[in-house]
């Protein structure tokens, strides 16, 4: 509901929405690597499609991110959660 309101407001103000990032989308099993949807099935892909938003990223629940944020060192975390997302955005912007 909150994302829908934000998208509607951006559209009313003629501000382009480049993509959606779903935080805490899943957790990876430390033993087998399987993605587990802790909060149930996501509707972000359908929402993006319905609203013509091309780029969607799904970030996992990651204890390393939490620890780094608590320590004020979030920028030091190395991961590639958003690399495909940025590639999609820059491709759409012809950068």
pLDDT per residue rounded down to tens, the chain (95 residues): 888 999 999 999 999 998 999 999 999 998 999 999 999 988 999 999 999 888 789 999 998 888 999 999 988 888 888 888 888 888 877 76
Q: Measured over all CA atoms, what is the biggest interatomic distance in the chain, rounded to whole angstroms? A: 46
pLDDT at 89: 86
Q: So what's the pLDDT on residue 79?
A: 86
Residue span of the structural domain in which 10 resides: 2-92
Whole-number Cα distances in Å, 85 to 59, 64, 89: 11, 21, 6
The number of domains in the chain is 1
pTM of the full predicted structure?
0.76
How high is the pLDDT of residue 36? 95
Domain containing 36 — which CATH number? 3.40.50.300
């Amino acid at each position: 509901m909150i994302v829908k309101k934000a998208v509607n407001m951006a559209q009313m103000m003629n501000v382009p929405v480049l993509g959606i990032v779903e935080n805490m989308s899943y957790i990876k099993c430390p033993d087998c690597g399987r993605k587990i949807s802790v909060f149930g099935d996501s509707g972000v892909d359908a929402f993006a499609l319905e609203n013509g938003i091309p780029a969607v990223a799904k970030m996992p629940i990651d204890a390393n991110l939490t620890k780094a944020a608590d320590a004020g060192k979030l920028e030091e975390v190395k991961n590639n959660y958003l690399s495909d997302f940025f590639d999609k955005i820059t491709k759409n912007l012809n950068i």
